[in-house]
Structure 1
Amino acid sequence: MKLKTILPAILFLSALTVPVQAQVGEQRYNFTVGINGGVNLNSVSFSPSVQQKNLMAPVGGITLRYVSERFFRMICGVQLEVNYSQHGWDEFYEDYPDLQYTRKMNYVELPFLAHLAFGKEGRGLQFFLNAGPQIGFFLNESYTQSGPWENYPNLTTEQHDMDVENKFDYGITAGLGVELRTKVGHFQVEGRYYYGLSDFYHSTKKDYFARAAHGVIGIKMAYLFDITK
């Protein structure tokens, strides 16, 4: 990705994670912590392209959220997560069902999110939007492979023998969800999408791939409880 494309997106989403102090709102000091978990539906944006289907893999970690104000009907805050997340891809060729290749890549990820919610502050339902930048640190990887790949030289297979070259991952993420607030804690369900801006393989003109970046659809549940109100 070109720098002039990356920087505006990161700066805009980073700005979202800072509560708007210039506006006059009702102040809040609500600090909430909890755990989250779910599944990722992973794919990789390759150029040249590689045929694949979504790879289902786990994600989970801790959530910290601070709500700073209510502005009219909108509840404003920030959210930080520290997650273990598995990415990768699963190659699929409808015309060659005997071929199989799956790569699983493990990361520690930190989403820095603006949290905007509408609904009940006490017991009841809230609907929320989370959006912001995300960074990740590569841990390790594994793969499984089977089939006579040597019989199909027309397929793109360079990625099979390439290790991760860029271990720092970054991109933008956004999600929509619903939160049930009860006297014993808050229960969330959220759908989220992550768009990788970085390539995990080198992607200069002399390299084989011009792009190799993660794309993730996530479905998560979380349990949170208040530390301060």
Structure 2
Amino acid sequence: MKQIVILLLIFSFLTPCSSQEKHIFTSLDSAFKNPESVFKLFLRNKSLKCLPDSIDSFHNLTELNLIDNNLDSLPESIGNLKKLKRLYLSNNPINTLPYSIGKLNNLIWLFLNQTKLVALPKSIGNLTELRILLLNNSQLETIPESIGNLSKLQVLELPNTKIETLPKSIGKLGDLQTLSLYETKLTRLPKSLGKLSKLKTLSLQSTLLSENELESIKLALPKCNVHD
């Protein structure tokens, strides 16, 4: 059921607009020849090791797909892509995000699955339009308190990471519907989690949570489908 909810959320944004199809580019060379015409830049599996600082030349860019490359960092200039809505960075050895990521005020999707990220910058809390944040199978150890500012977040995926605790501010994610925490090192959950009245699915399989902790969260979230 969790996967169905996520797929429906993603599908609702995936239907291409015919007027923008001609603005889709699949190489940096061709994109830089006419940067103002670039709305979507699909660079999946291009063996990229870095992005040029001039990536911010694409003032109209709304979607940037960098999945399956060899990127270990991003330039600070990426924060200047003010119209960017979807950023896909999965399957890259990225170990840090620039603080400027927080300047992407229109970002609604951020995919960071299978990266080497250990932590998120505090500026992640400035992405107040964000709906989906995926960090599956990353090296993540901590979540900043600022995540509580993501009031429109609907899906937060953190399975198979190294996190041991969640910040109390997670209870401020009033629109959150799906929270995946399975196969983590969690030993306790903040009581504020019980404030997530819209939460439909909470995945807690293969954690270090005690039976008492699991029962407490089930009582606190009676309308939520808790998987343990």
Q: TM-score range by the shorter chain?
A: under 0.3
User: So what's the TM-score if we normalise by structure 2?
Assistant: 0.24
Asked which structure has the greater RCO (Cα within 8 Å, sep 6+), the reply is 1
User: So what's the TM-score if we normalise by structure 1?
Assistant: 0.24
Highest CA radius of gyration, 1 or 2? 1
